[in-house]
Chains A and B, each alone.
Chain A
């Protein structure tokens, strides 16, 4: 037994000796260290500025920055391209990656690898910040990514993942890119605790990415909000979608989404809180819609969705729709402009509530009609319509509206468990 223990100890000690450290102070030392280092080595980059170009890492290395050394791409090419499993990049500032028309240059690009960690780095003026291509079981966490787009259409995405599986995007800050976080063909992955703001197009953009979940993220003041498209089985919980104003802006655009869960989210101060187009068999529960232009736009091509236990507070319009959508279940929501009564005191209003108002139907057909909104005539028409529904979809209603709002959700991942 003892012999075995000594053998084990020896192997461990040898392993420790093999995993060497290479402190570097200049760009040429950095290149040499990457060339000579063995699998499992650590390259310690000391504080300073390094003018570098196109570093390819094709062994299992750890790149560790001390006091945020700056790797400056000088607007010439990509900075680091990872083509090996088990690469770890931490504590480095990446700067100045050029924008090109054919190649998507990034601060850090990972190609066809596994078990890669990109942690606590800074990205400044990069065309793409972190780019994961055909990569799996990898982690991107604690990075601070800021782009400065010279022109709207000439900036890449902050964190870009394409054809990936089982990746975690956690606790990053992204600003000033085209899409803050972009997923295309990414499966079984998580986006958590990120803060994505002031990006040109979307704070988060999902396409063809099944079985993913995102929670405790904040998407604030992005060009067009967040878009989740052509995807099955997405879970979105405890996210905040705020301050997305503009003619084509949404808090959340759901296009061709099915079998998904959206719960405990906050939609505040958006032109449209959620825009649902071609969605089916999804649950929207316990979300809060407050201070939006239109809280929820449900297009007529949506079916078998459940809208339950949500709070609608201080929205100009609760719901808009492009037809007589009756294939969805709406029940037990709180509508702040509900004027019914609750004689049996069970907390549920005794008369149904119709969330689509006359005016939201009217501006759907004639947008200019907005001019007479909140005038005496419009109030009168609205009253008449409530008593004798003629134009509004009469079967689209909440038969069990709540008298009091549902308890609001928490957005701090440390305090609650999902």
Chain B
């Protein structure tokens, strides 16, 4: 009996430590970097560390600035909301980012994430690696 109990307890512990993304609670969640409450779903982003801690951001620029002192191995997931379908998470390494004044994001990062993106007038398409250099 005790053995089973141990197994159950350790299973629960392991389960609770598995990093996973978390849905946004708009109007309630707070940006980990700029402390503003997150209300605009189209620009929200999220970092989940390998220890399972979830950091939420209201702007992609906040995410990059907050993450700059962490290392790649610290991240389990880094996801951004798809601008066209905000309920969908995109992996930062697979998403295409557009920067333009058209995208007035909460902290002035003015960056939106898409599945695939084409260059329009007055905007430019960036990869995640290129964005690092802009905001860092």
Contact = CB atoms under 8 A, between A and B. Distances in A.
A279 to B, nearest CB: 12
A178 B104 CA distance: 15
A152 B27 contact: yes
Interface of A: 101-102, 104, 152-153, 178, 184, 200-201, 207-208, 223-224, 227, 229, 246-248, 253, 255, 275, 277
Contact of A178 (B28, B39, B107): B39
A299 to B, nearest CB: 10
Contacts of A248: 28-30, 37
B35 interface: yes
29 contacts: A101-B42, A102-B102, A104-B104, A152-B26, A152-B27, A152-B39, A153-B26, A153-B40, A153-B41, A178-B39, A200-B27, A200-B39, A201-B36, A201-B39, A207-B108, A223-B27, A227-B36, A229-B36, A246-B28, A247-B28, A248-B28, A248-B29, A248-B30, A248-B37, A253-B35, A255-B34, A255-B35, A275-B35, A277-B35
Contacts of B42: 101
Interface of B: 26-30, 34-37, 39-42, 102, 104, 107-108
Nearest to A246: B28
Contacts of B34: 229, 255
Nearest to A103: B102
A152 B108 CA distance: 21
Which A-B residue pairs are the 6 nearest by beta carbons? A152-B27, A248-B30, A224-B37, A153-B26, A153-B39, A152-B26
Nearest to B38: A153
Nearest to A247: B28
Contacts of A178: 39
Contacts of A255: 34-35
A116 B106 CA distance: 27
A39 to B, nearest CB: 31
A247 B102 CA distance: 32
A104 B36 CA distance: 21
Contact of A153 (B27, B102, B107): B27
Contacts of A227: 35-36
